Chains A and B, each alone.
Chain A
Amino acid sequence: MQTSTLVLFLFVIAVFAFYSSQNRSISIAGKLGGIRKLSSLPSYYGTYSVLLTLVPVLLFISLWISLDQLVIERLVVEKIPKEYVPLNTSDYQLMINKIMSISGGIIKNDSVPSWQLDAAVRMRQLSVISQWSITCLSIFMASILVYWGFRRVSENFNARPVVETIMERMLLASACIAIFTTIGIIFSVLFESIQFFRKVPLFDFIFGLEWSPQTAIREDQVGSSGSFGAVPLFVGTILISLVAMVIAVPIGLMSAIYLAEYANTSVRAFAKPTLEILAGIPTVVYGFFAAITVAPVLRDFGESVGLDIASESALAAGAVMGIMIIPFISSIADDVISAVPQSMRDGSLAMGATHSETVKRVVIPAALPGIVGGILLAISRAIGETMIVVMAAGLAANLSINPLDAVTTVTVQIVTLLTGDQEFDSAKTLAAFALGLMLFVVTLMLNIFALQIVKKYREQYE
């Protein structure tokens, strides 16, 4: 049976379990003189049965599925003559893939060596066995559990607290997914990064001035050691983020101030959602806008005034990124400005301050922590933004702080290093994870710091 069919079948069993237990509890209640004689409502007995059946069986199935590939692989490789088994991990993976393709029937089996064919046949047999055993085992398990649940129904057994405890545990498990995600992220970037730093020293990576990740495919190629100095990437990232901030902060802040302090309701009702459209536009669209429209316009403009603007200039990518971030800043600023109590404004206005003096000297200083927090979050966003820079910024790692030059960023390099054909253990792909680690650490610190500031600020006026 296919796994999906199996799961579906188990759900059918679960429905059966629910009704059988519920009906049993009702019939017991009938003999005793009404449902009130039971410790719990009939539906709780049903739910108890369902949970008792589904939770262990589904856990069992997922455990099996996550392990059976590995086990099958081991068993298959065991039977392959030693001389054919490559020691190199990537070649090994290639061999496994080939055998899988043959056994799946993707590669026609007339032109492959016999040992591969044997392995493929064995793999196929083992998969079928695995599939059958899991089907039989899980249905067997489910039947026993259904019966057990059914037997446990009695007027003295209080199913409700048990059901609720299990449910609460399940809720807790859901909440923990966030933690597992974070752990998963840390593991995925950390392990590969450690491997990378074994090949390239951490110091060279963080302080090296040259980035050219092209390593040799063959040992005998020349000039192909590759250098992994990430400074040009860091500088490029900072440069583009800076351009973005120079555009987004004033526009976002001023529009937030205008909308919160000056605009009448109808202007606000129109302008606020319209600006927020910008936040909903996918980044790939901004990338298109930057690469197809803004960059050529800037380059042509540069030509006409005699400036040499690269067609993949930091300016174009940064400017469009700035547009993307405007609504982010303006909505956070709007929030924090609106959170400043009206009594502050009244106090200032009653002193004879003009509206702008009130805003500049009282409202903004009062809202400053919130605004700074918002800007930090926006910076973290700019640093981590990928599509705009992948499409509109350069690939070559120039160490430059001139926004008219083409620079590259951390995210661009991650994408370039990891898309296209690569082998997993090469320094090139590992470098992407090292960059990912840097990106994660920096944005994490910015986020924690910024969220802390914003939280403190909110508490102050609550």
Chain B
Amino acid sequence: MSKDNRKKIRESLAKRNRSERHFQWFGKLGVILGLAAVVLLFVDIISKGSGAFRATYIQLEIEYDPDAIGVLDVNDTEELIFANWQNFAKKSLRDLFPEVTKRGEKRKLNNLVSEGAGFDFRDQLTQSPNLWGTKETLWILADDDIDTYYKSWLDDDPFSARLTSEQIKWIDQLHSKGLIALKFNTKFFERGDSREPEQAGIKGALIGSFFTLVLTLLMSFPMGVTAAIYLEEFAPKNKWTDLIEVNINNLAAVPSIIFGLLGLAIFINFFGIPRSIPVLGAIVLALMTLPTIIITSRAAIKSVPPSIREAALGVGASKFQTTLHHVLPLSLPGMLTGAIIGMARALGETAPLLMIGMVAFIVDIPGGFTDPATVLPVQIFLWIDSPERAFVEKTSAAIIILLSFLMVMNFIAVYLRKRLERRW
């Protein structure tokens, strides 16, 4: 190499090495930003939602006196239905703060406990009527505004916008007497949706998601696996097969909302399937996850070496027997992994379900595949739309639960892949 050229190279080195460092630095920055997004997302959701697993309760002494709720005959069911059950809590509160006499103040005082408390009393007394006339000390769920305030107050950052100064004073007093406390929020896991944030739970959505997902799996897994087997093992190489292939690859990338339109136009309007039911949700989600399952199943079948097939065919097994006895069992772990990943996607999917009416406000917990239901992600969407501040917390908590389910599913998929998948 000439002296001249060496000099040129030497001279260029500083600049080139600098640009090398910059490039690496950009790469690191890309990774760091990506990871930061993950951390930010999780920290944000967990910090917002962890509070919802505990709720504010107020300890009250309840006297089950029929007079208090205007019931004359405790055996008259009609009367019991229309009774003012909330009065048990109201009376107890008034006993606790006898100094409150003005009407407006009284109402504010009554607002300390949740509107839903009355229903609990009703359920309790319908179940065990021998409680009539007795006294019981109970922790009663507080109203959502009180809950929001009390939690933020404990964190030294009180959010009091929706409370009066009296209410704040009462909470102080309750606190000093130890009559107000945060306890594990069992209602959140036992209830369906509600307009009252403190009464709203995710059980309805969880059950709805469960029904929908089970049906989705039952439909898409067999269809996906059989389609994959056909395409890998039996399909002749021709235009039709190509068309099916192109179709599947495209369907995998079609926006999910389009599947919702399909469900609405074909299944609701044409076939007349009722809206909002898990069966319909499952059909839509199954069609949506089908391409994913076919693609992963085909990959699993492809990974079975041809020598296995040749060995089976060599001893006189038919093509079908070879597939059924050898290829299918060997590729099943891979297919299962694909199915779980597909199900995880279906569990988190929202948009197509909005189209088929699974966004209705449903209080009852669904009891079957044809009961109107909502699912977890749609519940999250509904709660975000609600104006009450307390719903933000509920939403985050529901998201935490949704994400935990997804994580568990993904861990199972990873575990399956590691344990069962064979390397050839």
Residues from chain B with a CB closer than 8 A to the CB of A59 are none
Contacts A171-B230, A181-B290, A418-B264 known; 16 new A-B pairs at CB < 8 A: A178-B290, A182-B247, A184-B266, A251-B34, A274-B35, A284-B378, A284-B381, A284-B399, A285-B45, A288-B45, A384-B256, A387-B377, A436-B261, A439-B255, A447-B254, A451-B253
**Binary interface encoding of chain A residues 15-40 relative to chain B, with 1 for a CB under 8 A from any of its CBs, else 0:** 00000000000000000000000000
Within 8 A of B (CB), among A392-432: 411, 414-415, 418-419, 424, 432
Residues from chain B with a CB closer than 8 A to the CB of A390 are 351, 354, 381
Chain A CB within 8 A of B373 CB: no
CB distance from B365 to the nearest CB of A (A): 19
CB distance from A55 to the nearest CB of B (A): 14
Give bound CA distance, A379 to B181, whole Å: 50
Q: Which residue of B lies closest to A283 (CB)?
A: B350
CB distance from A348 to the nearest CB of B (A): 13
CB distance from B360 to the nearest CB of A (A): 10
Residues from chain B with a CB closer than 8 A to the CB of A168 are 230, 234, 320
CB distance from A337 to the nearest CB of B (A): 12
Give bound CA distance, A282 to B399, whole Å: 9
Task: Pick out which of these stretches binds chain A: B18-26, B121-129, B151-159.
Answer: B18-26
> Range of interface residues on chain B?
35 or more
- Interchain CB contact (< 8 A) of A448 among B230, B246, B349: B246
Complex contact B258–A436 (CB within 8 A): yes
Nearest 3 pairs of A and B residues by beta carbon: A384-B255, A282-B348, A258-B27
- Interchain CB contact (< 8 A) of B384 among A359, A391, A444: A391
Within 8 A of B (CB), among A309-363: 323, 326-327, 330, 352, 354-357, 359-360
Tell whether A289 pairs with B44 under 8 Å between CB atoms, given A177-B223, A178-B291. yes
Residues from chain A with a CB closer than 8 A to the CB of B265 are 187-189, 191-192, 433
Taking Cβ atoms with an 8 Å cutoff, the residues of A that contact B are 66, 69, 160, 164, 167-168, 170-172, 174-179, 181-182, 184-185, 187-189, 191-192, 250-259, 261-263, 267, 271, 274-275, 277-278, 280-285, 287-289, 291-293, 323, 326-327, 330, 352, 354-357, 359-360, 377, 380-381, 383-387, 390-391, 411, 414-415, 418-419, 424, 432-433, 436, 439-440, 443-444, 447-448, 451
CB distance from A146 to the nearest CB of B (A): 24
Tell whether A281 pairs with B348 under 8 Å between CB atoms, given A178-B227, A356-B24. yes
Chain A CB within 8 A of B16 CB: yes
Residues from chain A with a CB closer than 8 A to the CB of B26 are 254
Complex contact A387–B30 (CB within 8 A): no
Complex contact B261–A414 (CB within 8 A): yes
Complex contact A188–B266 (CB within 8 A): yes
Complex contact B253–A381 (CB within 8 A): yes
Q: Which residue of A lies closest to B230 (CB)?
A: A171
Task: Pick out which of these stretches binds chain A: B139-147, B190-198, B402-410.
Answer: B402-410
Tell whether A184 pairs with B384 under 8 Å between CB atoms, given A284-B377, A385-B255. no
Residues from chain A with a CB closer than 8 A to the CB of B227 are 171, 174-175, 177-178
Residues from chain A with a CB closer than 8 A to the CB of B41 are 278, 281, 285, 289, 323
Complex contact A356–B19 (CB within 8 A): yes
CB distance from A263 to the nearest CB of B (A): 7
Residues from chain A with a CB closer than 8 A to the CB of B28 are 258
CB distance from A170 to the nearest CB of B (A): 7
Give bound CA distance, A459 to B262, whole Å: 34
CB distance from A96 to the nearest CB of B (A): 10
Chain A CB within 8 A of B179 CB: no
Within 8 A of A (CB), among B254-287: 254-259, 261-262, 264-266, 269, 271-272, 287
CB distance from B361 to the nearest CB of A (A): 12
- Interchain CB contact (< 8 A) of B253 among A174, A185, A287, A377: A377
Taking Cβ atoms with an 8 Å cutoff, the residues of B that contact A are 9, 16-17, 19-20, 23-24, 26-31, 33-35, 37-38, 41, 44-45, 48, 222-224, 226-227, 229-231, 234-235, 243-244, 246-251, 253-259, 261-262, 264-266, 269, 271-272, 287, 290-291, 294, 318-320, 344, 347-351, 354-355, 359, 377-378, 380-381, 384, 392, 395-396, 399, 402-403, 406, 410
Residues from chain B with a CB closer than 8 A to the CB of A252 are 30, 34
Residues from chain B with a CB closer than 8 A to the CB of A267 are 31
Residues from chain B with a CB closer than 8 A to the CB of A177 are 223, 227, 287, 290
Give bound CA distance, A384 to B352, whole Å: 12
Residues from chain B with a CB closer than 8 A to the CB of A440 are 254-255, 258
Give bound CA distance, A321 to B298, whole Å: 30
Tell whether A414 pairs with B264 under 8 Å between CB atoms, given A281-B41, A284-B381, A292-B48. no
Complex contact A275–B34 (CB within 8 A): yes
Residues from chain B with a CB closer than 8 A to the CB of A352 are 9
Complex contact B24–A262 (CB within 8 A): yes
Give bound CA distance, A291 to B354, whole Å: 18
Q: Which residue of A lies closest to B348 (CB)?
A: A282
CB-defined A-B contacts under 8 Å, sample of 8: A66-B271, A185-B258, A253-B30, A255-B31, A377-B253, A380-B253, A386-B257, A411-B255
CB distance from A161 to the nearest CB of B (A): 8
CB distance from A131 to the nearest CB of B (A): 16
Tell whether A278 pairs with B38 under 8 Å between CB atoms, given A178-B294, A254-B30, A284-B381. yes
CB distance from A57 to the nearest CB of B (A): 19
Residues from chain B with a CB closer than 8 A to the CB of A391 are 381, 384
Residues from chain A with a CB closer than 8 A to the CB of B266 are 184, 187-188
Residues from chain B with a CB closer than 8 A to the CB of A259 are 31
Q: Which residue of B lies closest to A323 (CB)?
A: B37
Complex contact A293–B44 (CB within 8 A): yes
Complex contact B250–A181 (CB within 8 A): no
Residues from chain B with a CB closer than 8 A to the CB of A415 are 257, 351, 354-355
Complex contact B254–A386 (CB within 8 A): no
Residues from chain A with a CB closer than 8 A to the CB of B38 are 274-275, 277-278
Give bound CA distance, A117 to B395, whole Å: 45
Q: Which residue of B lies closest to A66 (CB)?
A: B271
Complex contact A439–B258 (CB within 8 A): yes
Q: Which residue of B lies closest to A451 (CB)?
A: B249
Give bound CA distance, A330 to B34, whole Å: 10
Complex contact B226–A170 (CB within 8 A): yes
- Interchain CB contact (< 8 A) of A433 among B261, B290, B392: B261
Residues from chain B with a CB closer than 8 A to the CB of A419 are 354-355, 359
Complex contact A292–B384 (CB within 8 A): yes
Complex contact B248–A178 (CB within 8 A): yes
Complex contact B230–A384 (CB within 8 A): no
Residue from the set B30, B243, B287, B290 with the largest chain A CB neighbour count within 10 Å: B30
Complex contact A414–B257 (CB within 8 A): yes
Q: Which residue of A lies closest to B395 (CB)?
A: A288
Q: Which residue of B lies closest to A250 (CB)?
A: B30
Complex contact B320–A174 (CB within 8 A): no
CB distance from B364 to the nearest CB of A (A): 14
Tell whether A359 pairs with B23 under 8 Å between CB atoms, given A287-B381, A387-B381. yes
Tell whether A271 pairs with B261 under 8 Å between CB atoms, given A179-B244, A284-B350, A289-B45. no
CB distance from B313 to the nearest CB of A (A): 14
Tell whether A288 pairs with B246 under 8 Å between CB atoms, given A182-B251, A189-B261, A440-B258. no
- Interchain CB contact (< 8 A) of B27 among A257, A293, A381: A257
Complex contact B262–A181 (CB within 8 A): yes
